[in-house]
Structure 1
Amino acid sequence: MRNRNFLALKIKLSVILVSTSWSVFANTKTFTSEKLETADSTPKQVEIFGSKSEVDARRDSIAGKIIIGRKSIEESGVSTAADLLKRHPAVTVSSNGKLGLMGMPGHTQILIDGIPATGGKDPLELDVVHIENIEIVRSAVAEFGPFGSAGTINIVSRKINRRTTNSLRSSIAGGPQGSGADIAWSTSMFETGSPYSYAAQVSLGKSRQHKFESSSLSAQGGGNFMTLVERNATDRREDVRKLLASSTFAWQRDTENKFSVEPSAFVMLSESTASTASAWLPTDRGPSASSEISRSPLHSFSLPLKWELTLPKRAALTLTFSPTRFSYRKDLDREETFVSLPPRSQQNLQGSDRRTDVLRANYSRRLEQHALKAGITQLRNREDTEYRSFLNGLPDASLNTFGTSKTGTDDKISIFAQDEWRFSKLMSINLGISAERRKLDMNEGIFKTRIRYSVISPSANITWRQTTDAKDQIRLGIARTFNSPFNDQLSARPTINVWSPCPAAGLCGANTPDFADTVGNPGLRPERAIGLNLSFEHYIGEDSVITVELFDREFKNAIGKHLQLMPVPWADSPRYVIRPENLGTAWSRGIGLEAQINTAEVWKGMPKIEVRGAVSFAISRISLVPGPDNRVAGQSPWTVKLGTGYGFAVIPLKIGFDMNLSPAVWTRSSEIKRDYKNQRFDLGFDGSWTVDPKTKLRFNIDHLISSNLDGSEQLLDGDGTILLRSASRTVEPKIGLKLEQSF
């Protein structure tokens, strides 16, 4: 009944706003919106520079699109997209450290240039030297496709500037838990009157992480006392080397035709070692010591080709073909010693080659009151992965049914159409529809996975202000969206827990819930959602805005991780496994207060201090998971973030700090499993010294004050025993120094 009443409220609110918009339209004379084109009606790219333009662009965007422009990126002094987004009030940092919108990282869509990342790149780990701007939309718009139930973060690749520029950044960082160094260079060559232009960016980095973790496993039987079962301490070191080079070569053939090629290459090598000392009761239950060595090289290369065609009547067509080739290898060796048993060794080898081809066509046309967009994208991803697993030097027979290879073809066709209709100076509407059809065929030994589905997502965003010069604005967004399962979530091939391996001679035996295997679910269905965002924005001056936003999401076929005991093809008796499941219906509702303020605009006579912050509250429930704590994974009951920046008038120094806080939280994922995350508090400090107009020195202290990353898992065994596994990792400060030069 509660959900029905809320749905009725959403329908009534939509009808009222649409009726109001029609009334305003019927009583308002038509007008000519501000032109963004040149006198010859050729569409012109709008470049966002500085906080003033960003705030104005947000106010003018019907869907409330937030843009972090190139100037803000350069002034931030951060190195990666993740560090940049952590500072922004619109982005929440959950108790597990993941970034998302509205506290739902698992439902936030992250794109690069409007499509999911290819070539093994983690979008959030991209060096900012490769980023032109970042777009954030908490509602849904058709141009970003039918996915992203909690909004979209779109990272736009670096473009050619309309001026010749060169910049160089070098940095070092270190602390008790690791060190690193990187260098980034960018250049752009553009001459007025020349048909040729060029831009390139290169980032090279090396880092070493040193983590010391401790954990314990305790059991509680019929009494109230916990008995220690296992305790271990792990010393882990990881070395990562990265190289990313990207460039753009453009040729303006004439006023209508522009051709460009944008090659990029990415190379990463990760090497890690870990040693664990363990104590067990009884002593023969597990190894007394273990060690792991892994090596994972990754290579990818992309060669996008683009044709931009300017059409009559203020229209434009862009055709892009982007082939990507990706190669990944992972070698893992594990050695274990026991008190009263012979030593045991495990070896896992994996080699994966993927080919991704993307063909896109985007059309746009601007009329006096309309901005039309439409597009179609065809993506084909082909994968060929080889596996080799050994126990004590012999092939792992428990995985024979899955063969030694996995092959698959994933075909997607996506289309969208969108109209931004500014039918009065007081009200505008963004109407769109997007759709995707997916065909996935995957072969893993005797297991054949065949996925077919089509989804359609309508969306509507409305903005309204009382007068043309009003500082206040109301937005409403309603959309039907989806979450599509990843390929790994559909794979039938398991990852067998290293603490409960199978004998090399045959199938596995039983395991316990604390040492569960992980596996995908070929029967997983796409998650459907109906979403509503209602916000009130108050603009102050040119750089300040305060936003209050309500959101609601209703999910069907909600996707979550589920721990269960079930028959499996790699064992002769049921084993505990963790796999993705459709957990029935779910809902999430919340409210957020966000502020981006220049104090000189709010209080006359005050010095110019940048203040940014956000407070959010949310509740959520999942129907097929018993309570309490059956909330959407990753969503905290509340979060707080605060940041400041102040530039001194008498010296060329600017300082600032950023703080993120989220509470300790329990999350229940199944009938027998609950997870606990400790309160998360993190405070960082940064500063910059302008040596001259072309040279800037930056310094920062990450985790200046930070809480430890403590967590627990509570499991209910089949015989009523409660198992509690606790883990802890200390977080230490890290000091960094950067030198930036332009020439």
Structure 2
Amino acid sequence: MLFQQASTRLSTIALSVLALFAGKQALAQQQAQQTPQQVEINAKSQPNRDRQDDVGMRSIYGREDIEKYGDTNLSEVLKRLPGISVTESKGKGAEIRMRGLGNGYTQILLNGQTTPVGFTIDSIAPDLIEKIEVMRVASADVSAQSIAGTINIILKKKSSNQATEIKANASLQAGRLSGNLSWSLGNQFDDKPEISYVLAGTLESNVNQLNTLATESQSERASMRDAWETTADRQLQQSQQNRRDAASLSPRLNWKINAQDSLSWQGNLTLARQEQTKQEKENTYVGDSTEFPDNHSIWSAHVFTSRNDLSWERRLADSARLSMNLGWNSLDRSTKFHFWGKDNAGTLKIHRYVTGDADENEYRFNGKYLAPYSESHVLSLGWEASRALRHENRNEQEFTTLPDSAHDYQASLQKLAVYLQDEWTINNAWSAYLGLRMERISSNSKEAGNFDFQNNASMLSPILQSVWKLDAQRQWRMALNRSFKLPTVGNLVPRLFRIDNNNTPLNSDFQGNPNLRPERAWGMELAYEHYLTENSVISANTYWRRIDDVMLEQTTQIGSTWVSSLANNGRACILGLEIEAKLNLQQLASSMPVLELRATFNRNWSRVEQVPGPDNHLAQQAGLMVSAGADYQINPALRVGADYSYQAANNIRESAYLTGHNSPRRHLDIYLAWKQNKQSQLRFSVSNVLQQDKLDSGIYTNAVSRWTDINQQQSARTWRLVWEVKL
């Protein structure tokens, strides 16, 4: 109750700040007439130029792309970037996918470092981010856990005379109001100009509701020659309310000690409370109902995370540099879960109460030495070492005749990597990158009840990237690399995780497998790029991956209970084509309007050899994705834009028995930005204009039984108003 009252006050504060700065702007305009005019010089980023000059396959997206729609969730920003899609996993939040692959195939980095266990993409507010790097092929100085690609999130670093920015955000979705307030400031100390700082923070309160209609049926037959006979037919209505209240602070301190040495500290602190409430009501038309046809649950969590990086850099002779980084992370999480299950008569049959606490501490030490040892070679070598210790306990009480259960385990994760890389300028038109990375990762867990495990993985990853410039505008790229995907700790712990209700092969319990091995992949890329102007580019890229030891889900029946687990089972091949076009019409012809156009086309194919076809795709890979967008500058003060994306329907075969279907998905966002003066701007946006429902289905069939699930999830528009002020 106290936290909810604080959240209500947070929304009130955001609206108050909005009104406050609206009045302050009017006063500032009056004072401007009496104040000498100041000239402000800003160095604009040139993402296209950086992309063209980089020997690696890397695209950079700055503040203009991040804040265009005033998003408060990072996943909303990422879904509009070329080649990236976002899906909602059941109970796991947003899943980021490159080339249609998520679930560990896409690597997420924060300031170039791997994210800790339990990290969620939406725990980082977009207003704290300076830029986003998307790498199709990662370099040797970052982890090779990136079969599909890498997304590197860079927090704000600028600090030299940075203007103070304040942003108030209010959004409305399905009648539910959310609020967000963020600020950032940076400057130098007057008496010590060699020391500068940045301080950025956010306060947010976000709520949303998901309504799902599920239809479940079961059929039986005596033999394969007989017709199916329906033995169960049920309809389930589910309403889920999600709430997240959070406060984040991201400070940075820079100290230029002398001409050779500099020291910096970057921190990020987040305190959050999350709550998820579900209500489920079942209507049975044929056969028996589930064990708890009328149930509801409440899950809540308090989470505190801290991330710190202390970096030192020394400039040596002949443009050489030595840098070291000491980092430490901490996580403290406390969760509670209530489940109440009733029968058709409304009688309470079970009350399950689960509490859990987790704390994790990670320590990192990285270093890098870079030296141009000749006119054509820049050599760098480095190391990364980290150790994470996690302690977690879980206590479950059932107010029935069943005994209580408790789990207490400790887990550790050690990483050690060394790498060597060389940027080689062969001639004026041809450059190459050679990298070699050796990575070893060890994980183990100790828990009473024969749940201990120890898992070690080593990977040697050679990387070759090359760019050949045909002229000042056209160039070819080629890359060859080795990458891998590790099993998560949760998939390794050999403990049984039960579902709350309705155990079927489509909704089974899960048990970890301590014998899982990493998936290992060879990859190849070939790309053509044509840079027409500073902000106009057309590119085409094709890629290929061969993955060994693919982890596939296997579902078995143990007694009357269905249990799924992962096992390494064979090889998969993926192939894809990516086309991107971005055009600034006025730069192409001065007579054209101030209009920017962009479009992407992504076609992905994959085949798992050990799963019978057709449709034996890898990890529910999306086959076809198309997007288009435009930004139009009506006048110096008004700018409008829109982004549309389409993902084709997808048929999936995950095993000889399990198939699925995903309906096509269409998404449209629009925005209007009104720049009132140099200091303030108002943004209005509408996300999910089309409000298309999400429709998915799954079928599990064996010789004599068939289960079918059809899920329809409603969606709603989000109306958002953002006020930005620079002081």
Which structure is higher in strand share? 2
- What residue is the counterpart of 2:357 in the other structure? 351
Deviation readout 1:230-249 (Å, 9 max, x if unpaired):
21111221221011101012
Deviation readout 1:670-699 (Å, 9 max, x if unpaired):
222222211111111111000101100001
- What residue is the counterpart of 1:441 in the other structure? 444
Offset of residue 83 of structure 1: 2.4
| Aligned: 1:715 with 2:700 | yes
Relative contact order higher in (CA < 8 Å, ≥ 6 apart): 1
1:396–1:231 CA distance, 2 compared to 1 (3 A): farther
Offset of residue 589 of structure 1: 0.6
For residues 18-417 of structure 1, the aligned pairs below 5 Å read 50=44, 53-75=46-68, 77-93=70-86, 98-106=95-103, 107-118=105-116, 120-176=118-174, 178-190=176-188, 194-222=193-221, 223=227, 226=230, 228-280=232-284, 281-283=286-288, 285-339=290-344, 343-366=349-372, 368-392=375-399, 396=403, 404-417=407-420
Amino acid in the other structure paired with 2:505: P
SS of the equivalent of 1:514 reads coil
User: Among 483, 494, 505, which residue is 1:513 paired with?
Assistant: 505
SS of the equivalent of 2:269 reads strand
Q: RMSD of the alignment, in Å?
A: 2.3
Amino acid in the other structure paired with 2:587: E
Offset of residue 394 of structure 1: 6.0
- What residue is the counterpart of 1:43 in the other structure? none
Contact 1:164–1:190 at 8 Å: present in 2 too? no
Between 136-145 and 375-384, the greater mean CA deviation after superposition = 136-145
Q: How far apart, CA to CA, are the structure 2 residues paired with 1:119 and 1:412?
A: 13
Q: How far apart, CA to CA, are the structure 1 residues paired with 2:262 and 2:477?
A: 37
1:248–1:220 CA distance, 2 compared to 1 (3 A): same
Q: How far apart, CA to CA, are the structure 2 residues paired with 1:120 and 1:304?
A: 19
- What residue is the counterpart of 1:550 in the other structure? 542
- What residue is the counterpart of 1:688 in the other structure? 673
Amino acid in the other structure paired with 1:317: L
Contact 1:88–1:612 at 8 Å: present in 2 too? no
Where structure 1 has 5 or more consecutive residues not aligned to the other structure, the ranges are: 1-46, 501-510, 567-572
Offset of residue 515 of structure 1: 3.6
| Aligned: 1:534 with 2:556 | no
Deviation readout 1:455-505 (Å, 9 max, x if unpaired):
1100000111224x3x211000100111111211212122201115xxxxx
TM-score by structure 1 length?
0.86
Q: How far apart, CA to CA, are the structure 2 residues paired with 1:365 and 1:347?
A: 59
- What residue is the counterpart of 2:37 in the other structure? none
Q: How far apart, CA to CA, are the structure 2 residues paired with 1:732 and 1:703?
A: 7
Query: What percentage of residue pairs aligned between the two structures are identical?
Result: 22
Offset of residue 550 of structure 1: 0.8
Contact 2:512–2:565 at 8 Å: present in 1 too? yes
Contact 1:160–1:197 at 8 Å: present in 2 too? no
Contact 1:216–1:228 at 8 Å: present in 2 too? no
- What residue is the counterpart of 1:652 in the other structure? 637
Deviation readout 1:187-219 (Å, 9 max, x if unpaired):
111369712111111011001111211111112
Where structure 2 has 5 or more consecutive residues not aligned to the other structure, the ranges are: 1-40, 222-226
- What residue is the counterpart of 2:601 in the other structure? 615
Q: How far apart, CA to CA, are the structure 2 residues paired with 1:239 and 1:70?
A: 27
Amino acid in the other structure paired with 1:343: K
SS of the equivalent of 2:141 reads helix
Q: How far apart, CA to CA, are the structure 1 residues paired with 2:383 and 2:76?
A: 33
Contact 1:94–1:636 at 8 Å: present in 2 too? no
SS of the equivalent of 2:496 reads coil
- What residue is the counterpart of 2:685 in the other structure? 700
Q: How far apart, CA to CA, are the structure 2 residues paired with 1:284 and 1:102?
A: 41
SS of the equivalent of 2:336 reads strand
TM-score by structure 2 length?
0.88
Contact 1:81–1:123 at 8 Å: present in 2 too? yes
- What residue is the counterpart of 1:10 in the other structure? none
- What residue is the counterpart of 2:570 in the other structure? 584
Offset of residue 163 of structure 1: 2.2
Amino acid in the other structure paired with 2:75: A
- What residue is the counterpart of 1:473 in the other structure? 475
Q: How far apart, CA to CA, are the structure 2 residues paired with 1:66 and 1:307?
A: 27
The aligned length equals: 672
For residues 481-492 of structure 1, the aligned pairs below 5 Å read 481-492=483-494
Offset of residue 308 of structure 1: 1.8
Contact 1:177–1:210 at 8 Å: present in 2 too? no
Q: How far apart, CA to CA, are the structure 1 residues paired with 2:86 and 2:305?
A: 30
Contact 2:626–2:646 at 8 Å: present in 1 too? yes
Contact 2:296–2:341 at 8 Å: present in 1 too? yes
Contact 2:423–2:431 at 8 Å: present in 1 too? yes
Contact 1:66–1:135 at 8 Å: present in 2 too? yes
Amino acid in the other structure paired with 2:712: S
SS of the equivalent of 1:313 reads helix
- What residue is the counterpart of 1:562 in the other structure? 554
1:335–1:74 CA distance, 2 compared to 1 (3 A): closer
Contact 1:686–1:701 at 8 Å: present in 2 too? yes
Amino acid in the other structure paired with 2:429: L
Amino acid in the other structure paired with 1:295: S
